[in-house]
Structure 1
Amino acid sequence: MPDVHFTCQLQYWRLYLLSLVLGIGGSFQYGIHVSLSASPAVHIQSFVNYTWMMRYNTPVHESTNQLIWSFIVAVLSLGCWAGVVHSGSLPVTYGRKKALLFNNMVAVIAALLMVFSRTAKSFEMILLGRFLYGYNIGLGLSVHLMYLGESSPKKLRGFLTLTSSIFIGLGKVVGQIIGIKEIMGTDEMWPYLLGVSGIPAILQFVMLLFFPKAPRYLYIDKGDTERSKKALQWLWQEDNLKMELNDMQLERERSQGEKAKTVKDVLTSSCVRWQLLTLAIPCAGVQFCGINALYFYAFDIFRESGVPEDKMHYLAIGIGATELIAIMLCVILLDRSCWQKETYGLLYDLNSWIPYVNITLIFCVICIYGLGPSGVSMVLPADLFLQAWRPSAYVVSGTINWLGMFVVGMLFGYIVDGLGQFCFLIFVAYSLGSAAFVIYFVPETKGKTMIEIMEDFNRLNYKNRTADTENTDVALETKF
């Protein structure tokens, strides 16, 4: 991790402003949509029933209504996955900036579908809008990190790429606040609540027009040295850029004649096998450590604890605020063993006071999650892969994350039915295995040169064989 004092270098204020502009796009919107998945549930289900009555002159069956609502929630993850798939091609073909500008138009279209769904008496518009929102999030998060990582100096790259997690946490808190009944969580306002993400999309679209394209993209992918230098000077407000330009020149020479790598290349090339494992296992851990399952289960614990229904959203705001604070304090990857404590805490039927302990444990787990995997896993592609491989690496990490979220969201209810109070033991097992992998197999990269890191991974990729001269994709530092 970069030293904290680097964040005080005010000469980079334009770069910090760029991180703000990028953050209000995919990251902030993702946080909003996660927090709004449950808030308007009653109003949307009522709207589905009303629409069904208008069409078929009969109320919708309860199971059908629940199925439609479940798909409205789950389709966001599928949209995210579709966006991630295109994050491997759009930023390469059109550049990071143009890809984000296009992405903002998708979010505006999604917002309009949401706002006018009630007027059109069509819950299908909500389904399509949620899918497009998901597409916007999946593409936006990946390109956000590419753009910011390729525009930042090495000493600030780790800190700035971690800001994406801060904006996700901020989006969750904002979504939880505006979703309460006193603001927009009413039967009259819910279409506008669902369409609120169009506002940050418009802001990002307008503000991005004033920023240059990613300097490393211009230099390495397009070979435009002069425009890259001007972009760096504008963002960093430095005239002496020799070290950064030399570093980009070295990377361009090593990738000379190489085309952008495909997802198949990332999955099959032996020269990045351990980089792929180092990427995949922690990224899967974001979902399979059980954090989203805990969000799904939290309201059941609140009910068992006797929290009134009209007070649960306020308690949810506290959970979101806890995660935001924890993410902002994120400096190291912490052990996630407290999932076992949460599992024991779910034995709330044994003692009447145990549910209150559960609420405390929820806040503890959210805090530890924010301190560790929430911030670290998202920035791994920027740290582990070089320019030619990085877009496809984001496709892989995004696919693991969003499909993992979809699987957990769809199956967790069945896991609870099957395992009852021991449902979190599955997540304990994955967390322990992931921690063991990181401790025993992932090379330490902090403070090492690129050559030293490359040699470390080559010893893993090629074992006893002579290290291949093919380029490997490792950056200067991971967050482990």
Structure 2
Amino acid sequence: MGTTFLSSTHPQRKGALLMNNFVALLAAILMGVSFPTGFYELLILGRFLIGINTGIGLCVQPLYIGEAAPKHLRGAMAMGSSIFLTGGILTGQVVGLRELLGGESHWPLLLSTCCIPAFVQLLALPWFPESPRFLFLDRGNEAKCVKALKRFHGRLHYRREMEDIQREGLALGSQKAKKPWELFLDRSIRWQLLTIICMTMGQQLSGINGIYFYASYVFQEAGIPEGKIPYVTLGTGACECLTALTCGLLIESMGRRALILGGYSLMTLWCMVLTFSLTYQVYWWAPYLSMACVFAFILSFGLGPGGVTNILTIELFTQSSRPAAYTIAGSVSWLSFFTIGMLFPFIVRGLKQYCFLVFLAECCLVALFIFFVVPETKNKTFLEIKREFHKMNFGRIKEQDGELGERRHLSNEF
């Protein structure tokens, strides 16, 4: 929800983030007063608004960070969104314990805590400059772009980034920001668009939500007392947070492709083992193997698909297409999340423990797609990445045309 915010006018990155915090504050107020006033409609409206806030934030924040970061640190910095997202989930699990704010009398206060990060961002974000790429490529303001680059990269190191932005500006020419539906008609980004749609769907349909659904059952079968299960569940949040941090440390050394391909391959394996262990729950060792598979699956997800998918959405598109691509990716993500939430109970009812064979097939197919289609994007400019996809989008250029002919063709497409 909220992803269509980027689809029309493509507002300033920093401005959009600042305004988005007022939505979170309004949502916190509505949810906080719903209990004392007795109006449950305020709770529903507050939840709706915080959904809009989340949708906008998950699109604009990595977009802002990815455009401001230097290419050799782009992956690690963009992983910051996933690291703090998983950290927020873990924090929510902790404060949601019954001994803290999880009790019946404290839930309005728990829901209202979403105002805390909004206040922090409202205080801190005005001191940060706007996205340099947005200032130069979308607004044509070179002076403000240089000033922003100096703030981000320092006066001694900003020139290389400025040259990269200028090269992208020359390649794009007078091309304006595109609408989401225009991306489907643009042959020059056909495979990039197909890649982010497949990877975003794969992320949500991979079985991670099914794992969380089954977690309590698995822990209970392992002999953990029902009253202790919420504390054990904290381990799942800690796993995601740990792997997001690990992914952030490894992404610039191992690369995007290796991490996401390895993540889906391991998830395929754990789906197979989990199906086996759930089938033989009558044996004493099976519940413990199931519990180990739950944590291993979450670790594999966080190490690859959980963090790298968002980064590739930044890197596969140039400035004119990137906001629209985020709109499409965000819409596909939330639609996939809604679909699996609606269908998973029926899948479990019909297939029982064999439901994870569906996710096994899905993870395997996504891994194959990544292996054959997605190139490595580590330490490459946005134009270099676009050239990687050029042959897939247009076929092989005749050798006799030579390098000069290829450059002219690329320039026309940009």
TM-score, with structure 2 as normaliser = 0.89
Matched, 1:146 2:63: yes
- Per the alignment, residue 13 of structure 1 pairs with none
Matched, 1:392 2:324: yes
User: 293-302 or 168-177, which moves further after superposition?
Assistant: 293-302
Question: Offset of 1:443 from its aligned partner?
Answer: 3.1
Kindly provide the amino acid, as one letter, of the partner of residue 211 in structure 1: F
Question: Offset of 1:472 from its aligned partner?
Answer: 6.3
Match of 2:8 among 80, 89, 101: 89
Is the 8 Å Cα contact of residues 89 and 391 (structure 1) preserved in structure 2?
Answer: no
Q: Counting helix residues as a fraction of each chain, which structure ranks higher?
A: 2
1:346/1:464 CA distance change after superposition, 3 Å: same
SS at match of 1:423: helix
- Per the alignment, residue 125 of structure 2 pairs with 208
Question: Offset of 1:379 from its aligned partner?
Answer: 1.3
| Runs (5+) with no aligned partner, structure 2 | 251-258, 399-405
Is the 8 Å Cα contact of residues 88 and 391 (structure 1) preserved in structure 2?
Answer: yes
Measure, in 2, the Cα distance between the counterparts of 1:471 and 1:290.
42
Matched, 1:439 2:371: yes
SS at match of 2:348: helix
Give the alignment of 1:19-418 within 5 angstroms. 80=1, 83-89=2-8, 92=10, 94-330=11-247, 331=250, 332-333=259-260, 334=262, 335=265, 336-337=267-268, 338-418=270-350
1:470/1:240 CA distance change after superposition, 3 Å: closer
Measure, in 2, the Cα distance between the counterparts of 1:464 and 1:300.
53
Kindly provide the amino acid, as one letter, of the partner of residue 3 in structure 2: V
Question: Offset of 1:232 from its aligned partner?
Answer: 1.2
1:449/1:101 CA distance change after superposition, 3 Å: closer
SS at match of 2:194: helix
- Per the alignment, residue 427 of structure 1 pairs with 359
TM-score, with structure 1 as normaliser = 0.77
Is the 8 Å Cα contact of residues 110 and 132 (structure 1) preserved in structure 2?
Answer: yes
Question: Offset of 1:214 from its aligned partner?
Answer: 1.1
Measure, in 1, the Cα distance between the counterparts of 2:382 and 2:101.
51
Question: Offset of 1:470 from its aligned partner?
Answer: 6.2
SS at match of 1:378: helix
Q: 1:439-464 CA distances to partner (integer Å, 9 max, x unpaired)?
A: 12223444666665444312111124
Q: CA RMSD in A?
A: 1.9
Q: 1:359-418 CA distances to partner (integer Å, 9 max, x unpaired)?
A: 111111111111111110011121100100000000111111111111111111110000
Count of residues paired in the alignment: 390
- Per the alignment, residue 460 of structure 1 pairs with 392
Q: 1:291-327 CA distances to partner (integer Å, 9 max, x unpaired)?
A: 0111122112223333222211111111110111111
- Per the alignment, residue 29 of structure 1 pairs with none
Is the 8 Å Cα contact of residues 104 and 205 (structure 1) preserved in structure 2?
Answer: yes
Kindly provide the amino acid, as one letter, of the partner of residue 414 in structure 1: F
Question: Offset of 1:87 from its aligned partner?
Answer: 2.6
Measure, in 1, the Cα distance between the counterparts of 2:95 and 2:381.
47
1:87/1:316 CA distance change after superposition, 3 Å: farther
Question: Offset of 1:130 from its aligned partner?
Answer: 1.3
Q: 1:175-208 CA distances to partner (integer Å, 9 max, x unpaired)?
A: 0100001110111111110111111111111111
Measure, in 1, the Cα distance between the counterparts of 2:349 and 2:109.
36
Question: Offset of 1:141 from its aligned partner?
Answer: 1.1
Kindly provide the amino acid, as one letter, of the partner of residue 368 in structure 1: S
Measure, in 1, the Cα distance between the counterparts of 2:411 and 2:347.
45
1:348/1:129 CA distance change after superposition, 3 Å: farther
1:470/1:290 CA distance change after superposition, 3 Å: farther
Question: Offset of 1:274 from its aligned partner?
Answer: 0.8
Is the 8 Å Cα contact of residues 272 and 472 (structure 1) preserved in structure 2?
Answer: no
| Runs (5+) with no aligned partner, structure 1 | 1-79, 474-480
Is the 8 Å Cα contact of residues 303 and 309 (structure 1) preserved in structure 2?
Answer: yes
1:161/1:281 CA distance change after superposition, 3 Å: same
Q: 1:94-115 CA distances to partner (integer Å, 9 max, x unpaired)?
A: 3011111110000011111111
Measure, in 2, the Cα distance between the counterparts of 1:190 and 1:283.
32
1:300/1:122 CA distance change after superposition, 3 Å: farther
Is the 8 Å Cα contact of residues 149 and 162 (structure 2) preserved in structure 1?
Answer: no
- Per the alignment, residue 61 of structure 1 pairs with none
